[in-house]
């Protein structure tokens, strides 16, 4: 049962990820990536990371990709024409490198068997995660909030029209 | 039974697809989407390793990655909008003004 | 196993029945309410007090010709209303409707009449799915290939991102006071005091954000009849149009139910202890829906009372008004927690 859910989610994730990076229409790219992120959320849930599964949908699908879609629509779904400057060598090299990464990952990680240790928090991670975040990782937590603030101001400065 | 290896293979395949997107596409939006995909693939690996060790540290890292990804997208999209205003195009190959 | 499946199906049937009844009733309430507020009569010809008007509307919508304009982007055009309805219906399955402690049906405990198993990330699930609902509108605006639709979709996505922040921050106050993301414990927590009293600011922010999230006046800039014709659904006809209408009313119901659960004590009434057993279940169900009904009426009431915001005003209210207020509320709640006030 669990295995079938995994295979289904993984197949859907890979298929939609392929669409997300190859389709010419940026709106379709964004939509396909939403499907991928949902499938990743399913995988998180399978691994007992329930809070992250929810956060994945809320943050990625609900906020980040809405922002993407907003910008795509604001710019009028710009596409890049394929003909000018095709650069065959770079294309082949890039595809080869990506395939290499995939193959290396596949053959290296295929050997990892075992289901891992049973976490005492599997399925109810919210409390434990919260304690970790404001306990041992408090500094990083505060730092991330500063990063977010900096990004907020940076984005504002970048798109502000000069009068 | 789903093993850690299953998740790790999925993670590396997703990462490779994202990397391929970054390397091959010239559309700035697709490039950014590829980066998001790579970050997400890394997240899958982090959660899988957290499961392997039976603790939550890996999930904490995922939380931070999500926050940083949000920041990265905000700045990246702002850059794209600024670029589009200047060049009327988001072809990242045309950003050659600073090339020596 | 099969008993569980059966009970879940039963609960699903009850919830779907309730939701799909709310939609026609609300269209009637909206039109009659609007009429009374504007000193008119409203639809009163079909059935007693015009009660059968929604049936007539439904029949009309079903039999209208389903026009697909030639210039639309086909797949997305069909997908958009489907997403809208799907998301609207699926958010409802984690809301606890009624007190059902100790009641079992064929050996399966009913537990607050939640359709889904009582998720320990219930609030997160709800917020996540309601943030997905914008895709229906945005895609409709995009796929229609019409400048007014596109403007509606753009406005809607910007509005949702801004108001979702305020809404989530307001909900955070409740979660902080409650210490759990489970919706049933949030309701039980409010047995003595509703969250709306100590967290009045949060409640206010939540309500305003809820109006914006459901695209209701004074924040219906995605539709804005007098500037954008009908905004995102201007190219949709027949049942596709009806799907958008349905999803709007279902979303209103969901948000009202969420506000009731988070702030108005769910099925609790101050000073009333409900009996256990089936009577308690029915009573709590009635109390819950009385509160939801009031909030739904509030939606209609506000719609016909307040004029529409301008888009820059909307953005200013969201970022400079609601988010600081929500943060203030959060500060207040944490102060109360450290002092042991609640």
8 Å CB contact between C296 and C253: yes
Contact C307, C218 (CB under 8 A): yes
Report H helices in C64-146.
74-90, 122-132, 134-143
A146: pLDDT confidence band, cut at 50, 70 and 90?
Answer: very high
* A130 or C112, which is more confident: A130
Cβ proximity of B29 and A29 under 8 Å:
yes
Enumerate the residues of chain A whose CB falls inside 8 A of the CB of residue B26. 80
Residue C228: is its pLDDT beyond 60?
Answer: yes
Residue C123 pLDDT > 70:
yes
Q: What is the pLDDT of residue C342?
A: 67
From the CB coordinates, do chains B and C have 3 or more pairs under 8 Å?
A: no
**CATH number for A70:** 1.20.120.1200
A127 to chain B: which residues are within 8 Å by CB?
none
Q: Please give the residue range of the domain that contains residue A39.
A: 1-78
pLDDT at A36: 92
Domain count of the fold of chain C: 1
What are C109's strand-pairing partners?
A: C104
Please report residues of A whose CB lies closer than 8 A to that of C161.
63, 66-67, 70
Categorize the per-residue pLDDT at A147 as very low, low, confident or very high, splitting at 50, 70 and 90.
Answer: very high
**Is A51's CB within 8 Å of C128's CB?**
no
Name the residue with higher pLDDT: A139 or A91.
Answer: A139
* Domain with C244 in it: 2-44+70-339
Evaluate whether A72 touches A30 at the Cβ level (below 8 Å): yes
Q: Is A141 on the interface with C (CB under 8 A)?
A: no
Nearest CA in chain B to A124: B56
- The nearest alpha carbon in chain B to A92 belongs to B24
List the single residue in B40, B82, B93 with the smallest CB-CB distance to A37. Answer: B40
C-beta of residue C228 within 8 angstroms of C-beta of residue C148: yes
Looking at the domain assignment, is residue C265 inside a domain?
yes
Interchain pair C132, A69: CB under 8 A: no
pLDDT average, residue stretch A14-29: 87
Q: Which of B2, B12, B82 sits opposite A2 (nearest CB)?
A: B2
Closest Cβ opposite residue A58 in set C131, C150, C180:
C131
Question: What residue of C is the nearest CA neighbor of A61?
Answer: C132
pLDDT 10s digits, C93-111: 888 877 766 666 666 666 6
- Quick check: is A58 in a domain? yes
In a domain, A34, yes or no: yes
Any domain includes C60: no
Q: Would you state the pLDDT for residue C107?
A: 66
Chain A residues within 8 A of C157 when measuring between CB atoms: 66-67, 69-70, 73
d(CA C217, CA B37): 37
**A145 close to C (CB below 8 A):** no
Most confident of A12-16, B91-95, C42-46, C227-231: A12-16
Residues of C with CB under 8 A from a CB of A: 76, 119-121, 124-125, 127-129, 131-132, 134-135, 138-139, 141-142, 150, 153-154, 157-158, 160-161, 164, 180-181
A157 touches chain C (CB under 8 A): no
The pLDDT assigned to C285 comes to 82
Residue A90 lies in a domain: no
Percent of chain C with pLDDT over 70: 94
Alpha carbons within 13 angstroms on the beta-carbon side of residue B72 total 17
Chain B residues in contact with A57 (beta carbon < 8 A)? none
**Which of the residue ranges C172-181, C222-231, C312-321 would you say has the lowest mean pLDDT?**
C222-231
Q: Tell me, yes or no, whether A73 lies in a domain.
A: yes
Query: Cα angle vertex C69, ends C68, C73, to 5°?
Result: 90
pLDDT grade for A20, boundaries at 50, 70 and 90: confident
Residue B39: per-residue pLDDT: 92
**End-to-end Cα spacing for chain B:** 55
Of the pLDDT bands very low, low, confident and very high (cuts 50, 70, 90), residue A120 is low
Local structure of residue C93 (DSSP, 8 states)? G
Q: Which residue has the higher pLDDT, C170 or B87?
A: C170
What chains are in contact with B, requiring at least 3 Cβ pairs below 8 Å?
A
Q: Is residue C50 one of the residues assigned to a domain?
A: no
- ipTM > 0.95? no
Q: Do A57 and C132 touch (CB under 8 A)?
A: yes
Mean pLDDT of C187-210: 84
Burial of C44 (0-12, 13-18, 19+ CB in 10 A): middle
- Rounded to an integer, the average pLDDT of C260-280 is 78
Instruction: Indicate whether C63 belongs to any domain.
Output: no
User: Domains in chain A: how many in total?
Assistant: 1
Q: Which long-range contacts (CB under 8 A, 24 or more apart) does B86-94 make?
A: B89/A78, B89/A80, B90/A75, B90/A78, B90/A80, B90/B27, B90/B28, B90/B29, B91/A80, B91/B26, B91/B27, B91/B28, B92/B26, B92/B27, B92/B28, B92/B31, B93/A85, B93/B26
Q: Which of B8, C135, C139 has its CA nearest to residue A25? A: C139
Indicate the pLDDT class of residue A116, thresholds 50, 70 and 90: low
A81-95, B66-80, C156-170, C239-253, range with the lowest pLDDT: A81-95
Dist CA C199 CA C179 (whole Å): 15
Sign (positive or negative) of CA dihedral C10, C14, C19, C25: positive
Residue C117 lies in a domain: yes
| pLDDT for the residue numbered A83 | 53
C4/A20: higher pLDDT: A20
Record the tokens describing residue C302, joined without a space. 């506000």
The reply to whether A40 touches chain C by the CB within 8 Å rule is: no
Residue C56 domain-assigned?
no
Task: Say if the Cβ atoms of A74 and C153 lie within 8 Å.
Answer: no
What's the rounded mean pLDDT across residues A29-35? 89
Residue C109 per-residue DSSP state: E
Q: In the A/C pair of chains, how many CB contacts fall below 8 A?
A: 70
- pLDDT of residue A62 exceeding 90, the answer is no
**Cα distance between residue C93 and residue C83, in whole Å:** 16
Contact (CB, 8 A) for B28 and B91: yes
Using DSSP's 3-state secondary structure scheme, residue C269 falls into: strand
Per-domain boundaries in chain B: 4-92
| Residue A103 in domain | no
Q: What is the pLDDT of residues C286-328, one digit of tens each?
A: 888 888 889 999 988 888 888 888 888 888 888 888 889 999 9
Most B CBs within 10 A among A27, A47, A118, A134, hence the mutation to make, goes to A47
How confident is residue A150, by pLDDT bands cut at 50, 70 and 90? very high
Q: Determine, yes or no, domain membership for A49.
A: yes
CATH of domain B4-92: 1.10.287.3510
Residues linked to residue C272 through DSSP beta bridges, in sequence order: C269
Structural tokens at position C63: 């039999």
Per-residue pLDDT of chain B (100 residues; tens, 9 = 90+): 777 888 888 888 888 888 888 888 878 888 889 999 999 999 998 988 888 887 888 888 898 999 999 899 989 999 888 888 888 877 777 777 777 6
Give the mean model confidence (pLDDT) for residues C115-139. 80
């Amino acid at each position: 049962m669990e295995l079938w859910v995994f295979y289904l989610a993984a197949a859907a994730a890979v298929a939609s990820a392929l669409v997300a990076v190859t389709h010419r229409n940026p709106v379709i790219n964004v939509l396909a990536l939403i499907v991928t992120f949902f499938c990743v959320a399913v995988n998180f849930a399978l691994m007992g990371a329930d809070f992250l599964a929810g956060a994945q949908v809320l943050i990625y699908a609900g906020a980040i990709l809405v922002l993407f879609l907003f910008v795509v629509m604001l710019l009028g779904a710009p596409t890049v024409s394929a003909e000018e400057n095709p650069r065959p060598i770079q294309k082949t090299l890039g595809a080869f490198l990506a395939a290499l990464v995939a193959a290396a990952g596949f053959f290296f990680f295929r050997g990892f068997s075992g289901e891992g240790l049973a976490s005492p928090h599997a399925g109810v991670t919210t409390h434990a995660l919260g304690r970790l975040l404001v306990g041992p990782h408090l500094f990083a937590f505060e730092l991330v909030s500063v990063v977010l603030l900096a990004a907020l101001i940076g984005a504002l400065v970048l798109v502000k029209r000069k009068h | 039974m789903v093993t850690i290896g299953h998740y790790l293979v999925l993670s590396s395949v997703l990462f490779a697809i994202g990397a391929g997107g970054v390397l091959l596409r010239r559309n700035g939006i697709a490039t950014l989407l590829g980066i998001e995909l790579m970050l997400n693939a890394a997240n899958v690996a982090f959660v899988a390793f957290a499961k392997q060790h039976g603790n939550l540290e890996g999930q904490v890292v995922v939380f931070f990655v999500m926050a940083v990804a949000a920041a990265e997208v905000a700045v990246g999209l702002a850059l794209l909008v600024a670029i589009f205003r200047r060049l009327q195009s988001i072809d990242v190959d045309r950003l050659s003004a600073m090339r020596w | 196993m099969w008993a569980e499946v059966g009970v879940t199906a039963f609960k699903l049937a009850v919830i779907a029945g309730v939701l799909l009844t709310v939609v026609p009733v609300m269209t009637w309430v909206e039109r009659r309410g609007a009429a009374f507020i504007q000193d008119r009569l409203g639809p009163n010809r079909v059935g007693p007090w015009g009660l059968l008007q929604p049936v007539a509307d439904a029949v009309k919508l079903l039999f209208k010709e389903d026009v697909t304009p030639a210039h639309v982007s086909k797949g997305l055009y069909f997908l958009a209303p489907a997403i809208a309805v799907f998301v609207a219906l699926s958010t409802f399955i984690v809301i606890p409707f009624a007190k059902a402690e100790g009641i079992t049906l064929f050996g399966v405990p009913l537990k607050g009449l939640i359709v889904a198993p009582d998720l320990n990330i219930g609030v997160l699930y709800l917020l996540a799915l309601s943030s997905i609902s914008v895709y229906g509108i945005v895609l409709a605006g995009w796929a229609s290939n019409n400048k007014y639709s596109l403007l509606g979709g753009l406005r809607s996505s910007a509005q949702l991102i801004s108001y979702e922040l305020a809404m989530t921050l307001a909900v955070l106050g409740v979660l902080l006071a409650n210490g759990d993301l489970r919706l049933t414990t949030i309701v039980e927590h409010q047995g003595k005091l509703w969250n709306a009293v100590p967290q009045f600011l949060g409640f206010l922010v939540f309500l305003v954000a809820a109006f914006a999230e459901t695209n209701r006046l004074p924040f219906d800039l995605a539709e804005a009849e007098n500037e954008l014709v009908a905004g995102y659904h201007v190219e949709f006809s027949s049942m596709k149009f009806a799907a958008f209408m349905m999803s709007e009313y279902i979303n209103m119901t969901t948000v009202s139910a969420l506000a009731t659960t988070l702030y108005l004590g769910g099925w609790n009434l101050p000073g009333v202890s409900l009996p256990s057993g089936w009577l308690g279940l029915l009573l709590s169900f009635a109390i819950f829906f009385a509160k939801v009904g009031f909030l739904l009426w509030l939606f209609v009431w506000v719609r016909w009372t307040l004029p529409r915001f301008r888009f820059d005003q909307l953005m200013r209210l969201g970022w400079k008004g609601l988010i600081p207020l929500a943060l203030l509320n959060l500060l207040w709640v944490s102060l109360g927690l450290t002092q042991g006030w609640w």
